[in-house]
Amino acid sequence: MTILQGDNLELLKTIKSSSVDLIYMDPPFFTQKTQKLSSKDNITYSFEDTWASIEDYKCFLHNRLIECKRVLKDSGSIFVHCDKTANHHIRLVLDDIFGADMFQNEIIWNYKRWSNSKKGLLNNHQNIYFYSKTKKFKFKTIYTEYSSTTNLDQILVERRRDSNSKTTYKLDDNGDYILSKEKIGVPLSDVWNIPFLNPKARERVGYPTQKPILLLEQIIRIATDENDVVLDPFCGSGTTLVASKILNRNYIGIDLAEEAISITKQRLETIIKTSSNLLKKGIAAYKTKTEEEENILKLLNAKVVQRNKGIDGFLPQHFQDKPIPIKIQKKNEDLNDSILLLQNAIKSKNLKFGIVIKTHTDNLLFESEVLSKNILVISHFELMIEKWLNNK
């Protein structure tokens, strides 16, 4: 919502105390080099990351972090991104300001990247330190899939330990197993495998040290709710703000460089995301097709059609020399609407048959009335299961 240009120390002072839910901070890494990168348009952006001493650098951070703490709500938290060069010094400053007992996690961002053949191991990670302002910080656990080595069916049964801490299965009065409560998945780990931005990806706008949106999305998801306020005092090319916008959070961005501000504003206007295959998984959130619809089409091996009201995809094979269109019932559509939309599309495209996937029941009494011979209505698996279970 707000993008400010200038020294973040001064500008942070203008922000109200206890007003921010999440700060993501990606300060210079103390590389002692000038960071630069040229974009496709041959415009070169750069910033200075050279310091008189590490003390100088720590002081620089210290002053800003004090303001950061002030503007955070009591339920707020801060994520500070650094790399191996100075992560230990940065963490000392954080311990100093937020307190060692407010340290929550060291997040390892792990990526694969080809790099020059230096002696030693390839540097394939960066560190993100997660501190909260108080013990009562906001945290939304993300649950992930179980490892494929886990025997989930085993875990389904309740167990207890006897006095020797031996495990036995719990049995009911009939001697049958007692099943455990619903499983929700494994809480997210502190090591995140997120691909480094492919240099060719469209997402890249030509600003040094740009971070992938997925990384920021994940941070925002675990630390905020919708409409919360996200602050990035070194916003650079604005990835944090873009991710905030995508996830419906409010945002404040600050950067010293005029170019940074203008890139950020541009990006926010036309949100671009890389379509790199590696990243696809997590970006379902703002594609035209919802993930659910995509799954249905994938299951049918269908060719996906974007931006068509009547047709979502086509079956892979023609039938009687005509393609067969698929229409998925949308959330706000009655089945009749869906069928009509498909019928219209069939007529205008001069097709023969079509398929509608019914995804929810609506209240119409005479659903079958509009059914026509050239359209097959198939219920989503979930609907069939629901119907069956309701009779049990």
Min CB(40)–DNA separation in Å? 6
Q: Which entry of DNA, a copy of itself, none binds 46, CB below 5 to 8 A by partner kind?
A: none
Min CB(24)–DNA separation in Å? 19
* Euclidean distance between the first and the last CA atom of the chain, given in angstroms as a whole number: 51
Q: Which of 183, 265, 303, 387 binds DNA (CB under 7 A)?
A: 183
Name 226's Cβ contacts closer than 8 Å, sequence gap at least 6. Answer: 247, 248, 249
**Phi and psi at residue 207, in whole multiples of 5°?**
-120, 135
Q: Where does residue 41 fall: left (phi above 0), alpha (psi -120 to 50 degrees), or beta otherwise? A: alpha
Q: Which entry of DNA, a copy of itself, none binds 169, CB below 5 to 8 A by partner kind?
A: DNA
Distance CA 155, CA 252 (A): 45
Burial 161-180 (b: 16+ CB within 10 A, else e): eeeeeeeeeeeeeeeeeeee
| Window 173-212: contact mask with a copy of itself (x via CB under 8 A) | ---xx-x-xxx-xxxxxxx---------------------
| Footprint of DNA on 94-113 (CB under 7 A) | 111-113
| Footprint of a copy of itself on 29-88 (CB under 8 A) | 84, 87-88
Min CB(375)–DNA separation in Å? 17
- Beta-bridge partner residues of 34: 48
Distance CA 4, CA 233 (A): 9
Q: Which entry of a copy of itself, DNA, none binds 105, CB below 5 to 8 A by partner kind?
A: a copy of itself
Q: Residue 23: is it exposed, middle or buried by C-beta count within 10 angstroms (0-12/13-18/19+)?
A: buried
CB atoms within 10 A of CB 151: 8
For DNA, give the closer residue by CB, 154 or 391: 154
Q: Which of 16, 118, 136, 331 binds DNA (CB under 7 A)?
A: 118
| Footprint of DNA on 156-175 (CB under 7 A) | 159-161, 165-169
Q: In a 3-state reduction of DSSP, which class is residue 344?
A: helix
- Beta-bridge partner residues of 385: none
Distance CA 25, CA 91 (A): 13
For DNA, give the closer residue by CB, 154 or 363: 154
Q: Which entry of a copy of itself, DNA, none binds 353, CB below 5 to 8 A by partner kind?
A: a copy of itself
For a copy of itself, give the closer residue by CB, 145 or 269: 145
Beta carbons of 252 and 12 less than 8 angstroms apart? no
Span from 225-233, 246-254, 265-273, 303-311 in contact with a copy of itself (CB under 8 A): 303-311
Instruction: Measure CA 317 to chain center.
Output: 35
**Phi and psi at residue 215, in whole multiples of 5°?**
-60, -45
Min CB(35)–DNA separation in Å? 7
Q: Is 350 in the site for a copy of itself (CB under 8 A)?
A: yes
For a copy of itself, give the closer residue by CB, 1 or 122: 122
Residue pointed to by tokens 């089945």 = 335
Q: Which two tokens stand for residue 220?
A: 């925002």
For a copy of itself, give the closer residue by CB, 190 or 258: 190
Q: Which of 24, 47, 98, 130 binds a copy of itself (CB under 8 A)?
A: 130
| Footprint of DNA on 269-308 (CB under 7 A) | 274, 276-279, 283, 307-308
Helices marked H in 192-238:
213-223
Q: Which of 41, 52, 53, 148 binds a copy of itself (CB under 8 A)?
A: 148
Interacting residues toward DNA by CB under 7 A: 31, 37-40, 111-120, 123, 146-147, 149-151, 153-155, 159-161, 165-169, 180-181, 183-186, 195-196, 198-203, 208, 274, 276-279, 283, 307-310, 348
